[in-house]
Amino acid sequence: MNKHIELIPFILIALCGIVLGVFLQFSQEATLFYRELRQLFLFDSDYMGGLLRDFGGVGTFASQFLIQFFRVSGVGATVTAGIGILSGWLFWCTLRRITSAWYLSPLALFPVVFQYLYLLNHNYHYEGLIALFFGFLALAVYGRLTVRMEVIGRMITGSMLALGLLFGLGSVALWFAVILLLYELLVRSKEWYAACSPLLVVMVAGALAVQAGMLPDYDTAFWMKDYVEYFIDIDVFYGLSWQSSFLLMLLFALARYVKKNSCLKIGVAVAATLLPVFYYQYAAWNRKEMDFYTLSLLYHYIDTGQWDAIRSCKEINYQNMLHLNCLNLALSHAGKLQSDLFNYPQRGVSSLMSKYQAHIEESMLFSQIYYQMGVISLAYDLALGASIGITYGSPMMTKTIIKSHLIYGRYAAAEKFIAQMEKTWAYRDWASSQRRFLYNDKAVENDPELGERRRGLTGNRDIFANLLGVYENASIVLEANPKLTAAADYAISAILLSKDLPSIKAFVERYAGTEVLPALSLPLQQAVISCAEHDPDYCWQHGVSKQTWAEFMRFKEHFVRLRRTRRDLATGLIDYRHTFWYYLLLNK
């Protein structure tokens, strides 16, 4: 019977952890994808050795090793839930030494639940969760090893574990030292004072590390600042993971004095199992930044080439310019940027590319847009800048860098980055496939993607600039390579969205019937009519069909009728909401 009872806590923790894992998949899938896009783990001895030699390097190494697999849907949530279940079980192994209140065992997951909530913020490092896991492991190991140890043995064991955590995993060492002292007090150890030694060792070693410049400040040495980006301010919420573990120890100590019966135990066990799940779901809903979460998902789709998934994504916020930038990039890749442009709400030229404010997320996205347009110099500059700005690189940016070097014919540089990506798990096959282009101009020129963009290069790469608009940059590419369809799509879409009728007219007069504009898309036909609605012959001569002209006459008649009756135009013209005419009249 006792053996069966011993299994109950593990079953409860596992059940609660699995349900949390399901919620993780639904609430953090995109965030976990995005973490994979912000690192480039290499199976290289020098690289891995460099990680391990850094302060907190064990945590960084373990995190990066696991995160590289998050590219596969479901893996991130499964791995994270697995770490959580193991952490909860290890903590239970310590808590039961205080009192074997099996019915409270699922509460051991609460410190992990807070870590899950921290992970909703992509600026919180996965190392925080890894560090907590190793902290619980060290606590369980200490409890196991020191059962029959004397004072000196306890002091040495605790100090060695604390130092290992400090140098291998960072500031979690102070948490370990404090909870170790609390543990010794609550289990009523006669040698409780031996646990003061690890606390003193951590304080001294951490202070020396700060003074030696190994760590930037004391918040990093002793607090959660170690597990977030340097520019993030830590609020009280980020301390709850550690603090909850202290409170749980006190709760288990108090459980010794509570009278219990079987029915009460079962009721408490059910409540304890449900509480972490419901709290996570409630808190995640309130703390989740939906716009950035959706953007993270869109970036994953861009990296994996899932253009249809972007177009059908129901979470896109049409008020968010970066979301619209991703959507229009997907339309361009599908060859439907012109034809489907007004099938979606647009917000001016910024819908194609919003104002650049030097954020990493913008650099990552704009590099892909410029690459699609054929503005390779800007695509390369932004990709390189983003790759450097992200501490451990980015696979999406590295791929853009490789393709840019191949287009420019800088084969030695491309080979260097290819060799680097061949040391990754997820991208080695892609990297190896690019070797066929090395030192082979003919192969590059015959490739539909690389060749068209090479033919779009200009003699002066500095002619491009972020200061120029989408239309100006795309026009420069078209002068060099009129066949680059994506550049034409972006140029035409830019002048349509800007409502610049003189530029539309000039563009059509210059390029109609050429390789740039062999035929006019429906929105462009509608725009030409808006430029010359009183001259049908002009419209027909420049590619407007009789059908489009007839549709315009019906639109105009309906518009005049609405004006006469003073009815609301937006509502009355709703059937024309996917036309340039509707956008021209009603979009501000």
Q: What is the DSSP string of 46-95?
A: HHHHHHHHSTTHHHHHHHHHHHGGGGSTTHHHHHHHHHHHHHHHHHHHHH
With contact defined as beta carbons under 8 Å apart, do 65 and 229 qualify?
A: no
Q: CA 28, CA 223: separation in Å to the nearest integer?
A: 25
The SS3 assignment for 347 reads coil
- What is the maximum span of the chain, computed from C-alpha positions, in angstroms? 102
Q: What is the pLDDT of residue 100?
A: 86
With contact defined as beta carbons under 8 Å apart, do 120 and 154 qualify?
A: no
Q: CA 433, CA 168: separation in Å to the nearest integer?
A: 37
Q: What is the pLDDT of residue 460?
A: 66
DSSP letter string over 393-457? Answer: --HHHHHHHHHHHHHHT-HHHHHHHHHHHTTSSSSHHHHHHGGGGTT-HHHHHHSHHHHHHHHT-
Q: Which two tokens stand for residue 70?
A: 């998050």
The SS3 assignment for 39 reads strand
The amino acid present at 201, given as its one-letter code, is V
Domain boundaries, the chain: 2-288, 292-463, 503-586
Q: Per-10-residue mean pLDDT for the chain, 588 residues long?
A: 73 95 96 96 96 95 98 97 97 93 93 97 96 97 88 94 97 97 91 92 96 92 92 88 96 84 81 92 92 97 97 96 98 96 96 92 96 94 94 95 96 98 97 98 96 87 67 92 95 96 95 94 96 92 94 93 87 92 90
The SS3 assignment for 18 reads helix
Q: Which two tokens stand for residue 538?
A: 């002009």
Q: Which two tokens stand for residue 475?
A: 């026009």
